[in-house]
Structure 1
Amino acid sequence: MTGPKILDKFELIERVSRFYNRYGSDLEQISELLKIRLTQLALAYTIKNNLPPEAIRVLTRVKSQSSFLKKLENKKWPQFYYPTDIIKDLVGARVICWFIDDCYGIKSFISSSKHIVIDKNIEDYITEPKESGYRSIHLQGSISYDAITRDIDSDEIIIGSKNMACEIQIRTKLQDAWADITHEFHYKAKNAGVDNQFYEESLSQISDRLRGEEKAILTLRNAYQKLADEKTKENKREGFQST
């Protein structure tokens, strides 16, 4: 017996192209479904914790074909049949919270979802940041969706449940801004083979200062909430003018 044919770089590129041509629209729909599911969970969390809906923002995306090929190149063109064999974030989401404690709160809500199954291997870069100071919680999992196929024999349309691998990143607004800024020069430099320990430490120090500011903001938030609660209990409201 002979094993599966080993594909060269150009054959792998062609396989990726065929996949996106055939399933690109399906991936976009799954991305929208993931956004709906996460937005529902975010709304439930904000209601439970007396937060405004905008306290948690959800963004989703489908990894582009060019990004997929770049990842294959970085991995030295590994063999695959299904793209999800090697790429776990074809569909990805970013959940952006106002405060750092909400990152862990919404993580628990997502983990309890019946529609999104989260793997046990959780990467917590908030507790243990990367060298560049990148901070975020990464969840790997899958989302269930209704897949439509056509029966070859009867030509009937069949709707069945399937799962698509997805990655969900959870972080604060400050962490998200830092990730966007450093991605533009740090991530691209890394891909180009640049490795400078002095710059890495400088980035990490700036990130540590931002983390300190986040803790200060959290302390102020709690203090303001306590004052507001006390005012509410006293049934006092201050107007714009004295009477």
Structure 2
Amino acid sequence: MDESKQLHQLKKVRKELTRFMLSYKFGLDEINTKLNILQEEFEHIHDYNPIEHLKSRIKSPESILRKCQRKNVSITEASIKHAIKDIAGIRIVCSFITDIYKISEIIQGQQDIKVMEMKDYIKNPKSNGYKSLHLILAIPVFLSDRQEEVYIEIQIRTVAMDFWASLEHKIYYKYDGEVPAHLVEELTNSANIANQLDEKMEFLHTEVNGEKTDKQSDSDLDFLPLDNKRFPLPKQLLEELMEKKDRE
């Protein structure tokens, strides 16, 4: 093959790789937009935002190739798309366990999203104590000349679960997967402690919210909360609310 043909072939491969990686970026952008909308809605419309923070990433081509080698996947676009479904991923961190399932339900309810797989490592933790809710979603990406479907992995977990998973990853990375037995045992114990903390925080959250509802004063009926401000209600509407309250 002469030099011009080699150059043409390299340009073609680069173009295909660029398009392949961009499709995952665009899919990730779609999901991030949906989640950012949810965050703003919770912030401005509701009195509580279940999403603490988000983090997204796309595997590098080198990382994808290494995973192909580990899983014995042929290096073709079709094979990679079929076998590796975590090329693009988002981690959603919530305050409470109930928030995880609330966010999962909202995401799965989006009409243009197809849920391909769900793994609940909260109800069924891994042997080392790992907990998280995993979703594999198929997202449509509209390009100038075609529509493609890409897979996005979403991991939803609490702050405690995320802290534990981050530490576990660092330890396994440092020891290249060969972690001493005593550290594995300590990690498992730490996972149990993190789970107890989640359960305690969930209990406190439920207690505080219940108490706030029970202790709502009659004077709160005189005002309409809007964007963190309090505005007087019209007199007629106030009287109707008071009559309804008296009947109850």
Take 2:22 and 2:54, find their aligned partners in 1: how far apart are those partners?
20
Specify whether residues 16 and 109 from structure 1 end up closer, same or farther in structure 2 by C-alpha distance, changes over 3 A only. farther
Structure 1 position 227 matched with structure 2 position 222: no
Aligned residues: 207
Going by fraction, where is helix more abundant, 1 or 2? 2
Structure 1 position 194 matched with structure 2 position 191: no
Structure 1 position 129 matched with structure 2 position 113: no
Asked if the contact 2:92/2:155 (under 8 Å) is kept, the reply is yes
Of residues 161-170 and 95-104 in structure 1, the stretch that sits farther from structure 2 once superposed is 161-170
Structure 1 position 99 matched with structure 2 position 99: no
Structure 1 position 78 matched with structure 2 position 73: yes
Take 1:80 and 1:127, find their aligned partners in 2: how far apart are those partners?
36
Residue-by-residue CA offset, 1:195-237 (whole Å, 9 max, x unaligned):
655533331121111111111111111111122223323548x
Take 1:187 and 1:209, find their aligned partners in 2: how far apart are those partners?
22
Instruction: Map 1:49-88; keep pairs closer than 5 Å.
Output: 50-52=47-49, 55-75=51-71, 77-82=72-77, 83-88=80-85
Which is greater in Rg? 2
SS of 2:125's equivalent?
coil
Specify whether residues 181 and 16 from structure 1 end up closer, same or farther in structure 2 by C-alpha distance, changes over 3 A only. farther
Residue 155 of structure 2 is matched in structure 1 by 169
SS of 1:113's equivalent?
coil
Residue 11 of structure 1 is matched in structure 2 by none
Structure 2: runs of 5 or more not aligned: 1-11, 221-248
Take 1:33 and 1:218, find their aligned partners in 2: how far apart are those partners?
31
Letter in 1 for 2:148: K
Query: 153, 171, 184: which is aligned to 2:170?
Result: 184
Take 1:40 and 1:188, find their aligned partners in 2: how far apart are those partners?
38
Residue 9 of structure 1 is matched in structure 2 by none
Instruction: Return the TM-score normalized by structure 1.
Output: 0.73
Take 2:161 and 2:154, find their aligned partners in 1: how far apart are those partners?
15
Take 1:16 and 1:101, find their aligned partners in 2: how far apart are those partners?
46
Asked if the contact 1:59/1:94 (under 8 Å) is kept, the reply is yes
Take 1:186 and 1:16, find their aligned partners in 2: how far apart are those partners?
35
Specify whether residues 59 and 104 from structure 1 end up closer, same or farther in structure 2 by C-alpha distance, changes over 3 A only. same
Residue-by-residue CA offset, 1:34-86 (whole Å, 9 max, x unaligned):
2112333455567786313x7343322211122212212322x3224222122
Specify whether residues 55 and 95 from structure 1 end up closer, same or farther in structure 2 by C-alpha distance, changes over 3 A only. closer
Asked if the contact 2:26/2:141 (under 8 Å) is kept, the reply is no
Take 1:16 and 1:178, find their aligned partners in 2: how far apart are those partners?
40
Specify whether residues 60 and 181 from structure 1 end up closer, same or farther in structure 2 by C-alpha distance, changes over 3 A only. same
